[in-house]
Amino acid sequence: MNTLLLKSVGEIASESPEKIEIFKKYNIDFCCGGNKTLKEACEESGIDATLIAGEFNAVSEYGGGKNKNYIFSRKANDWNVDFLIDYIVNIHHTFLRVRLPEAEEYTEKINRVHGERHPEIIKIRGLFLKMYQALTVHLDKEEKEFFPLIKNMKASEIQKEINDAERDHEYVGHILKEMHALSSGYSVPKDACASYSHTYGLLRDIADDIMIHVHLENNILFKKI
């Protein structure tokens, strides 16, 4: 128990990705706040660490088989850096490049139809647009500048790129937290139409995917290099 408390949440997520479900349940940030120990993270969020440890035991029985992202992110520990980069770009960057424009269209549509009765959706769209813009720049920078530097082992320039990337991740993480709060965890209001539920479903998928994506970068890739 004590050794577990002193482990960082990023390390716990890398070793046993199925525990990510518990971090999500208690709003413990394991991707941008991955360097904090479990003890620190629990203290900050006012959560009893023994409760979390108990839930960890229950969840490990399932072996993380429920979510394919967890299966792959467990394997990511064994992948070499070049393969991990290709995986991040081909799976997670591709996902965002398809889903972000779709969510842009849908948030615009439900703003028009429901914005008056649901002012939170106007704020959510504003935040989404900021995130969309930041991520577009971020993905391009990783693909064209940062990741090629890693592949070509330009060690002297890598640290600055890591700092920049972590700062971008944190910015996106803040936006996701706000969007989550404004939408009450993406729960669809009773008077919502099909587009409304589709939009919230999209935003939830995007948020979940970004969490794993940032976890692979911050806690696995950056630790390897």
Residues that bind Fe ion (CB under 5 A): 142, 165, 217
Query: Computed from CA positions of residues 40, 15, 92, 186, in that sequence, does the dihedral angle turn out positive or negative?
Result: negative
Query: Computed from CA positions of residues 141, 29, 208, 213, in that sequence, does the dihedral angle turn out positive or negative?
Result: positive
Q: Do 42 and 9 touch, CB atoms closer than 8 A?
A: no
Q: Which is nearer to Fe ion, 161 or 217 (CB)?
A: 217
Q: How far is the CB of 168 from Fe ion (least distance, A)?
A: 6
Alpha-carbon span 74 to 83, nearest angstrom? 14
Which amino acid is located at 46 in the chain?
G
Q: How far is the CB of 97 from Fe ion (least distance, A)?
A: 11
Q: Which is nearer to Fe ion, 18 or 217 (CB)?
A: 217
Alpha-carbon span 189 to 108, nearest angstrom? 17
Q: Which is nearer to Fe ion, 136 or 195 (CB)?
A: 136
Alpha-carbon span 180 to 203, nearest angstrom? 9
Q: Which is nearer to Fe ion, 18 or 142 (CB)?
A: 142
Alpha-carbon span 195 to 103, nearest angstrom? 11
Q: How far is the CB of 146 from Fe ion (least distance, A)?
A: 8
Q: How far is the CB of 143 from Fe ion (least distance, A)?
A: 8
Q: Which is nearer to Fe ion, 92 or 114 (CB)?
A: 92
Q: How far is the CB of 41 from Fe ion (least distance, A)?
A: 21
